[in-house]
Amino acid sequence: MSDSEYPSWFPVPEEDVTPQPQQGSIIDSSAYPMRVLAGAGTGKTFTMVRKVERLIDEEDVSPDRILALTFTNNAADSMREKLNAKLGAAGYDIDAYTYHSICNEILTDYAYEAGLDPDFDVATDAEKYAIVLDVLDEIEYRFVKPNVYGSDGYASGAASKLLNFIGSMKRSGITPDDIDTFLGPAERVYGLADLSERIEDIASDHLGGRSVSTVLDALPAVRSDLTDERDALGTDGIEASARDFVERLIDLIEAFETAFEAHETGERELPDNAYKLPKYLLGGYASGAPTGIPDDLDLELTEHLDSFVSDCLTARDLNAGYAAYERELSERNLIDFDGLVVEAAGLMDSPVGEEIASRWDYVFCDEFQDTDRLQFDLVTSLVTDDNLFVVGDDDQAIYEWRGAHVANITDELDAAFDALTDEPLEENFRSHQPILDLANEAITKLDERERHKTLHRVNEPAYDGDTVATVELPDDDSDTDGAAQLRTVVQNLLSGGAANLDTAYDPGDIALLVRKNKHATPVLEAFEDAGIPYQVAGDLATESVGVGTVTAYLKALARTEDEVSWNRILMMRYRLCDADLRTLNAGDDPLVETLCDAPLDEFDEPGRISEARDHVTELLEARDAASLRHLYRELKDITNIEWYLSEQERRDLAQLDDIVEQYGDSAVQPPLNPEFIDSLEHYDSLFDESGAAPTSQPDVATDAVNIMTIHKSKGLDFPVVLIPQVTADEWAPSSRAYDALETGLTDGSAEVFDEDYVTRDARETRRVFHVGITRAEDILVLQGKSDRDDTDEEEDLISNAVREILPARIPWQPGRSHLPIWTDVRECLSDNAADWTDTLAKETIGNVGGSVRHNGSELTVQAARDRVIDLATMSTSGEIETISGNSRLNVKSLSGPSKPSPSLSHSYTSLASYEECPRSHYLDYVVNAFRDYHDTGNTTGGDVSQRDIGLLFHDVAEQAANKNAPRREEWYEIGERLASHQRAEDALPAVKECIDRYFELDLAGYEIIDAERQFELSIDGHELIGFIDAVYRTPDDELLVVDYKATERHRDLQKDKQLPIYLLACRDMYDEPVTRAGYTYVGNIGPKVESRSFTESELEAVKDSISASMNLIAEFTYSRYTAGDHCQWCQHNQLPCSPDSFTRGTGFGE
Amino acid sequence: MYATCPRQYDYGYAQDVNAPDRTELYLNQGTIYHATIEAVCDATDVDDDADVIHDRALRMFAETWEDHCNPADYASDAHQVYQRAENRAGVNAFFDPDGGTGIDHARHSIATEVWVECERDGRGLHGKVDNVLRTDDGLHVIDYKRNTHGMLSSRTAEYLDGHLAGEAHEPERVKNAFQTATYVEGVKNESFYEDGMDTRFSFYGLLNNTSFESTPSGYDVSARGWSRETTEIYEEHYDTIWALIRDAHDGITSEAYEPVPFALISEEACSGCEYAEMCADRLAEEVRR
């Protein structure tokens, strides 16, 4: 592959990376079990891979005796690729799995022992959705309302409640039986329903005194009443939890007695109004905090009992649904994602557990802080002889809310393994030190942080610009969400004009990481307005017009009576005019019948009607027979609908692609049906947290600003990170449904009220912030606002008094739900931090976006856009008569060198393109124009493009060289794997033919010196980059540069400049002279190798010639073009410059 | 619908584009309580005993639910049972023998489900009246609703002027005003109207307040309804209401479907519109953005 970049999956050998000292000692150590608490960006995966590599390479451990566990498929694949790159084929033999896929593997192998049908499948979201709907009638509706949906769709209905409940319980390994045992019969739970009210009555009845002494006198009566309540409660399950709660209140009353007595004897001072506290804490005031008690104290303790009992009442109803869901899964021979771990952990606990564990000698675990309790049990049961290596970061534990058990990596490991060796990893390779300083400083605010790590940057590159910048959210109403500020910041980052910046950044360098989805919405709109490209990671999907049109096509095909969808397609895809749409909608016949049957002469634009008719007829025929997946592909092929989408919309479409791909059973996918459309509509509301798990990681855009939640960004890094809306309100911690119930069921009845779940969430929120900060390499931009501090001194006194009086068994503290995150940021900032509020967040530096001249005046981009629309409107209504020369819109940034030219990297292909036609070069390499519409009916050479074949063949050749795989079968194998990986199965047969041809050549027997070697050639101040496909050593001991050609196009060895460019590049790369280069044809016109030698003077002549071309290219122009044969390959051959005879061929951009 | 958005009217009525049914369930429930009330009123004499009327109402509710409810509209049986309980509670409370408003409505009903028509300045209006009661002073027309939340009230009547001026978007309240005008005027053209009769109009929300009580053995649903009379509002805002009617009538007859003012209409109406996905006006906005 000549000039393209490395594909993302490409295994890059890390030979030239020398481990840092901390990494080295971990890699070389033979101490097991070992725990590495590794800070962000310290190369923990690298270290783990190296350690595995050392075991295989130096200690002769067989790769298949090593089990490596990670959270995402990407991570498992990448680990395998890295080991393969270093160790060759042996690297592929290592058992690298995700925590879920290892369970799937074990259960498949030991299905009978696990009591499963060996043909079980893993349930998809769609199947879970179907089962949940099926079992709704099993729920015992008493407390839960039976409405399946309401005004907001399915989001708040019974189906959604049940799914959430099942998820919460299952992830903690809690079964329906456990819940039944804990709760007991409904009467028992209802018996507790008014306990909190009775406690409030006790407080209200006794504690109305208006001084410390009168309240003190009443406290014994309260204690006695509470004791009676406690004694009436049972001692197991839910009653034990309630009993424990009342006991804690009795402790509280005793603490108040002590404090008030001390006050009465003059030993202790209490603030005014302190006498109101006992009544307030016990919920005795009907309308919340009375005068003198701060509202944000947030300590009406009976609320905690109330919410726990309320969760139990919900659970009592839903549990029957949970049990039915489990039965249904089993009947359909399905296991859901959470169930995999439950079943596997159970199996490991059985007699075969030992046999399974004996398959591996070493177990390596990545991201261990994200494991849940069951995964911990699973891992420990897989370990033999204590050969466990665990790496993770307790400061990056951000999935506690989804069941992760943070203590797994700390206390639980300590308890499970006596001889645990700890090694630190604190040397960071990612971020500039000021960013790390902020991260280090901010994380110290975390209470109960047991292990302290301090991140230090090593090998910090030269950098001259701001690293940490803050932006204060505006006070006025014009930009309350600060979206305009962030848009301005990004515009400045892209232009790079400001002195505070080291360089200009590409959109793909920048990430907007949000705490909540809603923080992204206004920014997306601002980016859209400013034309800033962005890509939103899965769980933030926004409404996309283009995706809506594709979805409408599916809806219309599934339900032909849905005329709204037909109208949508006919307007947006077929561009029917209003008159024709009205004709179609008129009359009593269904629209689709009129579309297919009405005489064409009834329409203003019969051509469009006819096109739509052909497509619809064909697709309706395909609908009933084809699988959804196939129909969807046909839909895209026949209608070419993607051409009508913007780049942004094409990116957005990926999500629909995945849903279609996933739909249905694994064996035979059903055809498109109304149920699929239903599930499309309800998916989002029911599975809003799917994707928010540690098991999925988004694809990162290289050409657009990446927008995702901080949770999704874990494990990724970006040169610039923006975190919006860092305010106490937006980052406020909260408790979640079933927190207390889950604790009771896993830790025991008396633990339910042992912890404040809001405080726990506050800790997690700080870790989320830490993860966000540590994603940044060069620049971290934090946007936030200080909280209003309106507490007065008296209120502070009350809060302090409460803190002092509360006994140890009361976990709730004043102001628990307030996390002063922005105040903390400001405290932790170093003096070097920049404030961009009035600079880069306020105005653009330089003329961002350019300006446009029209009719002699200078217009802003916005005004020019409006002008274009006005002109278009005038032209359609026939109001424009003549176009004069000065009415041309003149875009300075495109037509004149008014500002520094965009920096261009040249490549052989771009130069060749320029020589063929300056306009095509301009469109493809300067402004990156989108390709022309092409009619798919007019392709040559079947459905597979030559380009796809070429790409896959090149990839195969590269991997084969890197894996040292000289045999045809090995090339086949690599081809099959890559085709499946890249979803390029269609190209595989043709690629295999190319491989066959390659192996007919003598070349196949030569030694390969280099493959896919990247070079950078500097010629007269211009940069030329590229990749050399391969360098071979011939039997005559001569080096031969080879470029593979899988296409039908023949190259002229005398004229083409590609080979001499490679030889010029080789001058710096090899110690010995390289003078011979050639093309290796493996396509239809092969097999053959055509090569020749180049003299120094020939090379110098080529150098002069390309230097001249590159100088010319600097004068970017659209106006010059050359028409010719090459137009048939051009992506823009629908422009008038192309000879009429050409329409676009498939071999473009070869 | 025209007051909501002229384009929506264009799609819904002028072009009659078939949208996928989404509100079937609540439409059916509306049919059920309307049919129940109609049947009870038709079967009741002025001196019938309250308990008899109440029993009749519950019996008729059971029958109409059986006839009209389509279980396939519900995702679960439990949902259907719950909705039935809620509607039954509404009917039960309405015909409560101990002071339920429905007892009075049934006893004094002189006509149910009547098409009424009226005309002013050549602009004709028609509509179907749920129930006409004979009062001491004349006639009282009733329109039954699930609830009257967000409907025209003396407090919100001034919004009608805003809608007329294109400064506010109040299609629901405008619709309430149109209904009031049609019924108050239309009933005067009926045979049971006598000169000098006082004509009044009220909405009645059967399920204005519902409560869900949870017990160890299941749940109980209770409901409470009340009426909202708009006769006085009609009289006070007579000119505005008829100007609104003129605007809508003339817009429809002249096929003026441009949604103006667009910013206001799109903000208020697009999210609830079943034609939003095909609406050129809305999509053009989005595409342009």
Prediction ipTM score: 0.87
Query: Is A568 in contact with B274 (Cβ distance < 8 A)?
Result: no
| Structure-block tokens of residue A675 | 């149920």
- Contact call for A564 and B79, based on CB within 8 A: no
Q: What is the dihedral of CA A70, A72, A73, A79, to 10 degrees?
A: -40
**Interchain CB distance below 8 Å, B214 and A133:** no
If asked whether residues A529 and A549 sit together in one domain, one would say no
Interface test with A, best of B18, B219, B258, B274 (most A CBs within 10 A): B18
A578 lies in some domain = yes
Q: Of B19, B75, B216, which is closest to A142 when you measure between CB atoms?
A: B216
Q: Do B283 and A145 touch (CB under 8 A)?
A: no
In A715-806, beta strands by DSSP E: 718-726, 776-784
As a whole number of angstroms, the distance between CA A765 and CA A757 comes to 12
Beta strands in A712-775 (DSSP E): 718-726
In which domain, by residue range, is A363 found?
21-118+335-425
**A597 close contact with B: CB closer than 8 A:** no
Contacts of B289 in chain A (CB under 8 A): 525, 528-529
Q: Is the N-terminal amide bond of A1087 cis, ω within 30° of 0?
A: yes
CB spacing of B18 vs A529 below 8 angstroms: no
Q: Is residue A449 part of a domain?
A: no
Q: Distance between CA A583 and CA A601 in Å, rounded? A: 11
Cβ of A561 under 8 Å from any chain B Cβ?
yes
Looking at residue A4, its pLDDT comes to: 37
Q: Is A388 helix (H, G, I), strand (E, B) or coil?
A: strand
pLDDT for A986 equals: 79
Domain match, A556 and A523 both: no
Do the domain assignments include residue A901? Answer: no
CA distance A665 to chain B (A): 22
SS (H, E, C) A890-950: EEHHHHCCCCCCCCCCECHHHHHHHHHCHHHHHHHHHCCCCCCCCCHHHCCCCCCCHHHHH
Q: What is the pLDDT of residue A898?
A: 35
The distance of Cα B267 from the centroid of its chain, to the nearest Å, equals 24
Does the CB of B71 have a partner CB in chain A at under 8 Å?
no
A682 part of a folded domain = no
Per-10-residue mean pLDDT of chain B, 289 residues long, equals 90 88 68 93 94 96 90 87 94 96 96 92 90 95 93 90 90 92 94 93 95 94 95 94 92 89 83 87 67
Inter-axis angle of helices A988-999 and A968-981, to 10 degrees? 160
Q: What is the pLDDT of residue A576?
A: 92
Entry pTM: 0.77
Would you state the pLDDT for residue A368?
Answer: 93
* The pair of three-digit structure tokens given for residue B281, joined into one six-digit string: 């006006």
Peptide bond between residue A33 and the one before it cis (omega within 30 degrees of 0): yes
* A1018 vs B31: CA distance, rounded Å: 80
| B97 C-beta neighbours (distance < 10 Å), count | 15
**CB under 8 Å to A266, separation ≥6 — which residues?**
none
Of A763, A773, A770, nearest in space to A723 by CA: A773
CA distance B83 to chain A (A): 8
Q: Say if CB B166 and CB B178 are below 8 A apart.
A: no
Contact assignment for A572 to B75 by CB distance below 8 Å: no
Asked if the bond preceding B261 is cis, omega within 30° of 0, the reply is yes
Distance from CA of B263 to the nearest CA of A (A): 17
The pLDDT of residue A257 is 96
Domains and CATH numbers, chain B: 19-257 (3.90.320), 258-289 (no CATH)
The answer to the question of whether A40 is labelled as a binding residue is yes
Instruction: Kindly list the residues from chain B whose CB atom is less than 8 angstroms away from the CB atom of residue A147.
Output: 79, 82-83
Same domain, A549 and A529: no
Alpha helices of A774-886 — where are they, by DSSP H? 793-805, 821-828, 861-876
A147: in domain: no
Residue A297 lies in a domain: yes
A384: domain CATH number is 3.40.50.300
Stretches where chain A sits below pLDDT 50 are 1-13, 539-541, 666, 688-691, 893-902, 937-942, 1143-1150
Token pair of A782 as six digits: 């934090």
Could you tell me which residues are beta bridge partners of residue A708? A513
Task: For residues A559 and A523, state if they share a domain.
Answer: no
> A949 and A1017 share a domain?
yes
Asked, for residue A531, whether it belongs to a domain, the answer is yes
Residues A483 and A598 in one domain: no
Residues A765 and A871 in one domain: no
- In Å, how far is A310's CA from the nearest CA of chain B? 11
B72 CB within 8 Å of a chain A CB: no
The CA distance from A566 to the nearest CA of chain B, in Å, is 8
Residue A42, marked binder: yes
A961, A1030 Cβ separation under 8 angstroms: yes
Cα angle A1033, A1035, A1036; round to 5: 90
Number of domains in chain A: 6
Rg (CA), chain A: 34
Contact A146 B76 (CB under 8 A): yes
How far does the CA of residue B227 sit from the closest CA of chain A (Å)? 24
**Single residue among A425, A454, A482 that ends a domain in this structure:** A425
Whether A691 has a binding-site annotation, put simply, is: no
Check A585 against B16: CB less than 8 A apart. yes
CA angle A708, A710, A715 (to 5 degrees): 100
Whether A484 and A528 map to the same domain: the answer is: yes
Among residues B130, B28, B23, B36, the alpha carbon closest in space to that of B88 is found at B36
A141, A149, A876: best to mutate for the B interface, most B CBs within 10 A: A141
Residue A5: per-residue pLDDT: 40
Say if the Cβ atoms of A158 and B79 lie within 8 Å: yes
Which of A142, A572, A578 has its CB closest to that of B214? A142
Same domain? For A395 and A293 the reply is no
Residues A278 and A362 in one domain: no
Task: Give the pLDDT confidence of A802-813 residue by residue, as tens digits.
Answer: 999 999 999 999
Please tell me the predicted confidence (pLDDT) of residue A696: 62
Report yes or no on A313 lying in a domain: no
**What is residue A127's predicted lDDT score, i.e. its pLDDT?**
80
A415 marked as binding residue: no
